[in-house]
Amino acid sequence: MGRYIARRLFHSIFVLIGLTIVVFVISRIIGDPARLMLPLTATEQQYLDLREALGLNDPEWVQFVRFAGDVARADFGQSMWQHVPALPLIVERVPATLLLAFVTIAFAVGIAVPLGVVAAVRPRSITERIITVFSLGGVCVPDFWLGLMLILVLAVGLGWFPTSGYGSWEYIVLPMLTLTFRPLGRISQVVASSMLDELSKPYITTAQAKGLSERVVVFYHALKNAAIPIITLTGDEIANLTNGAVVVETVFAWPGVGLLFIQAIQRRDFPVIQAAVFVVALGVIAINLVVDLLYAYADPRVRYK
């Protein structure tokens, strides 16, 4: 197992290098930060001077060598707009993003799994149909609209929670609820379908014939064997949320990576874009590794060498 993890981490270095090159190339293609940084009334000479000052007039390969050398020292340079080092700017946003991601997933999984199980053990019942409509509705509802509706009802109307911001536990409730519906819907659908497969297998009949209670059969035997697709999807949802929930972060002014990342793209703030991609990629690599290791726990037939 230790060797497997070491090998995966070693491979991750190549992923990061490849990603860094791709992001460098794409960010140079998508536009010119100097135009955006200057007021519209700036002269053409001022624009050319700024390009020179930012090093944008150098050939691309010179810029890349300079960038790669800096990255090797974990220096992504200074934000072109904020004039502070880019990497700490991203890193200080990571805790807010991770907090929102894990609270959301914990809440979504905590509800989705029982819902999916109930839907699977009562197929074609009215309960199953209600759960299906609820979960598909959750997948379809737009974050932006839902967020504003929650603010109007729960914050303005009932006064239960603050409208937006970051701080004590009350602040996380509305963004978490807004984000929960999509993973809740997707995970409950996958739980229901995996459980249906498992519940139709012969070992379930054997377990029932042995006189085991339905709860043990469903939650101990069937659910554990149905876990692999659930783990995969949950990992995918966590990875999505660690990229930053841009819309929700914007509506609720949640100080996560996503909002900063989008602003950096809009402003062509290359150092921040590159640092953000690097940090997010590290997170996704770590999540994928954890997901792969959980497979071995869920299914003893999986062995990592």
Partner 1 sequence: MTEPNTGDPRSTADLDLVVWRSVCEPLVDHKGATNELVGVLAEKWEQVNPTTWRFTLKKGIKFQDGSTLDAQGLKDFMDWYLAPGGTGSGLILSTLVASTKVVDQYTFDFVTKQTNPTFPSNLLLRPIPSVKQVREAPASLANTISGAGPYRLKEWVRGQYITLEAWADYQGTKPAFSEVKFVFRTEPQVRASMLKTGEADVALELTPETAAETPKTETYPMPAVVQIRLNPGHPVLIDERARQALLYATDRQSIAKSIYKGFATVPSLPISEFASGFNSSLQPWPYDPAKAKQLLKDSGYDGTQLTLYARTGRYPRHLEVEEGLQGMWRDVGVNVKLEEMEAAAWTAVVRLHNKEPERFCKGCAVADMVIWDTSSELADSYEVFINNFHSTGANSVLRNQLADPELDRMIEAAGAIVDPKPRDEAFQKVWAYVYPKVYSMPIVHLQQIHGLGKRVNWKARPDKVVNAAEMRLA
Q: Which positions touch partner 1 (CB under 8 A)?
A: 30-32, 35-44, 46-47, 49-50, 53, 79, 81-84, 89, 92-93, 96, 148, 151-152, 155-156, 159, 162-166, 250-253, 255, 259-260, 266-268
Q: How far is the CB of 180 from partner 1 (least distance, A)?
A: 19
Based on CB atoms, which residue is closest to partner 1, 192 or 279?
Answer: 279
The CA R_g of the chain, rounded to the nearest whole Å, is: 24
* First-to-last C-alpha distance (Å) of the chain: 6
Based on CB atoms, which residue is closest to partner 1, 86 or 121?
Answer: 86
Q: How far is the CB of 244 from partner 1 (least distance, A)?
A: 12
Q: How far is the CB of 175 from partner 1 (least distance, A)?
A: 12
Q: How far is the CB of 19 from partner 1 (least distance, A)?
A: 22
Structure tokens given for 101: 């991601």
Q: How far is the CB of 263 from partner 1 (least distance, A)?
A: 8
Q: Kindly tell me the sign of the dihedral angle through the C-alpha atoms of 266, 270, 275, 277.
A: positive
Given a contact cutoff of 8 angstroms between Cβ atoms, the answer to whether 139 and 186 are in contact is yes
Q: How far is the CB of 96 from partner 1 (least distance, A)?
A: 8
Based on CB atoms, which residue is closest to partner 1, 46 or 125?
Answer: 46
Based on CB atoms, which residue is closest to partner 1, 144 or 203?
Answer: 144
Q: How far apart are CA 20 and CA 5, in angstroms?
A: 22
Q: How far apart are CA 93 and CA 240, in angstroms?
A: 16
Based on CB atoms, which residue is closest to partner 1, 117 or 248?
Answer: 248
Given a contact cutoff of 8 angstroms between Cβ atoms, the answer to whether 259 and 94 are in contact is no
Based on CB atoms, which residue is closest to partner 1, 49 or 70?
Answer: 49
Q: How far is the CB of 205 from partner 1 (least distance, A)?
A: 55
Residue 86, H or E segment: helix 86-91
Based on CB atoms, which residue is closest to partner 1, 106 or 152?
Answer: 152
Q: How far apart are CA 262 and CA 77, in angstroms?
A: 18
Strand partners, 260: none
